[in-house]
Copies of this chain bind each other. A is one copy, B any other.
């Protein structure tokens, strides 16, 4: 077990601060309320955490008024857990109830805003989903004539991008667990072991070292490299000359790490070594460029310049890193389209990728915190040369 775990949960003052910041931004944007419905946003503003989100059956809602504490409108099954948190106004219904899954309660709550022809913010932009039935959303709108809907995606994502010290402690802890898991991988990932058995042992090791879970484990292994980076494991045994990649999002108290490691089995060919070297230096360039005021586009170009030594295609991944926190991937994106300026306490992945040879690809990834100087590495930096098992 990795020692010195931070305290679980957050002080009520942390939620109060987050809510106040949201309300300040809402005031600036002319929003009279914010209706949230997804797992990360409910966790962020209420502290509510449960794996029950894996059941798609019931919708969950959190309303942030112009001032005062958020109001939860949730299924009765979550009432006890929500009331143990910092919220006071928790309204529930016996869900599932297909003909009225929270819609009457929301209508009652939002009617004053509709009457006042106010503006309600919801998250409807890039990287969001509507976590309720679309037909219920349409019914709610029809029940609230006069209400105007505004897109508050940027407002919420902008807040969540910059982490508090307490959030960074949790992220550092899960990254340390991830690093220890990767360090232990050569002890069990051996020639002849099937890839699915390696994944299984990887998960057991991560949990044994203190991860709450290892929900995201992907990777591949084949002669000289792998062809995609989002696959489940095959049953193929590792062979000499394989390049093995494992990429993981492990969690601790709701927060994710997200990074990967590569190994060669027995020996590595020149093409794989060369791809590894280019990516290691591209990662270094990304880390060097990551300081307050630089943009995500700057990071993208800093990494792209190195990657171009081997590959000018731009690759299949679509970006070279992203934000990290309550979700495996969060805003911003290290891509040419993203001009977000880096700020202190953003937690980011630096994730260059390259295509090479006959349809092969390779990925590298590290997790960092932006500081007022050089970024702080949360992951134990990958070896500068492709390690051999």
Contacts and interface: CB of A to CB of B under 8 A. Distances in A.
A77 B229 contact: yes
A30 interface: no
Contacts of A112: none
B319 A96 contact: yes
A288 B95 CA distance: 26
A250 to B, nearest CB: 12
Interface stretch (A124-132, A303-311, A374-382): A124-132
Interface residues of A, number: 76
A133 B131 CA distance: 10
A51 interface: yes
A217 to B, nearest CB: 7
B76 A318 contact: yes
Given A77-B317, A329-B57, A133 B126 contact: yes
Contact of A133 (B51, B52, B79, B124): B124
Contacts of A76: 316, 318
A376 B152 CA distance: 49
A216 B54 contact: yes
A261 interface: no
Nearest to A227: B80
Identify whether the interface residues of A are mostly helix, strand, loop, or mixed.
Answer: loop
Interface stretch (A12-20, A168-176, A200-208): A200-208
Interface string A262-285: 000000000000000000000000
A328 B54 contact: yes
A148 interface: no
A94 B332 CA distance: 17
B132 A215 contact: no
Contacts of A232: 49-51, 212
A134 B227 CA distance: 33
Nearest to A338: B98
Nearest to A75: B318
A215 B213 contact: yes
Interface string A99-136: 10100000000000000000000101111111111110
Interface in A42-63: 49-52, 54-58
A207 B96 CA distance: 31
A58 B322 CA distance: 13
Contacts of A327: 54-56
Interface centre among A94, A98, A134, A231 (most CB of B within 10 A): A134
Given A76-B316, A78-B230, A231-B81, A51 B217 contact: yes
12 contacts: A8-B235, A51-B218, A80-B227, A94-B314, A94-B316, A95-B318, A97-B337, A124-B133, A127-B133, A128-B134, A130-B130, A130-B134
Given A129-B132, A207-B207, 5 more contacts: A57-B329, A80-B228, A81-B228, A122-B134, A124-B138
